[in-house]
Structure 1
Amino acid sequence: MLTFNHFNFNVADLDKSLAFYKEALGLEPVGERKAAADGSFIIVYLGDGKTDFRLELTWLRDHPQKYDLGECEFHLALRAEDYEAAHAKHAAMGCICFENPAMGIYFVTDPDGYWIEIIPTR
């Protein structure tokens, strides 16, 4: 049997992304940073402190252009224990990119344009 371990987002500015994920979603680095001896990449894993699932952020030195995110049809989803408070925080941050009140969900975008779905605890 297989179990989920992590999901990767490639990022243009690792420090900016780390700050966003901490402020917006409460995700913190877990484990050691992995860096290439030649400086070509840095990998940082983020966790929520409650589950074993990790978000891998990968910075690549030799990828200066924006990442092609297609039509943003893929996304990561996080469950909010206090949905209204999360929504208010994200609205104040200006990072909400799409809302679907009928479904009771909304999406935020990270600094690279990745969509992250926020769902209430039901």
Structure 2
Amino acid sequence: MQFKFLHNNINVFDLGKSLEFYKKALSLNEVRRYNQEDGDFILVYLGDGVTPHQLELTWLRDREEPYDLGENEVHIAFGVDDFEAAHRLHTEMGCICFENKAMGIYFIEDPDGYWVEIIPNKK
């Protein structure tokens, strides 16, 4: 028996805002979408165009307020080939929420408060 990663899921309050953020901040593109027939929810799968792994964004029609992530310590991590350019972009976007210069990494925060770790690719 062998398992393989397919996707990670996060729930988002404003699907359009989240799609815009992930496109601009991480160059993720929509690869597929599922619209529930009754409009109750939408699933959008984003890909990086390099790996088969996907990020699933779930939007729920009846959600009336942003999600309370509490002390959620879960995060997604991305490696990047041009760390300095990524840092400049994320600084301009105002989405850097934590930096660990000693480790050479930083985190950005999406519109729902989820953290994404940015790590320089190993050379």
Deviation at 1:98, TM superposition (A): 0.2
Q: Are 2:25 and 1:24 equivalent residues in the alignment? A: yes
Query: What runs of 5+ residues in structure 1 fail to find an aligned partner?
Result: none
1:76 matched residue in structure 2? 76
1:49 matched residue in structure 2? 49
For the 8 Å contact 1:72–1:115, the answer to whether it is kept is no
Task: Give the aligned CA root-mean-square deviation in angstroms.
Answer: 0.8
What are the residue-to-residue correspondences of 1:110-121 with 2, within 5 Å? 110-121=110-121
2:13 matched residue in structure 1? 12
Deviation at 1:109, TM superposition (A): 0.4
Taking only the aligned residue pairs, the percentage that are identical comes to: 62
Q: Hey, which bits of structure 1, 4+ residues long, moved more than 2 A?
A: none
Deviation at 1:62, TM superposition (A): 1.3
Deviation at 1:70, TM superposition (A): 2.4
Q: Distance in 2 between matches of 1:71 and 1:110?
A: 16
Count of matched residue pairs? 121
Query: What runs of 5+ residues in structure 2 fail to find an aligned partner?
Result: none
TM-score, with length taken from structure 2: 0.95
Q: Distance in 1 between matches of 2:3 and 2:39?
A: 33
Q: Distance in 2 between matches of 1:77 and 1:64?
A: 29
1:59 matched residue in structure 2? 59
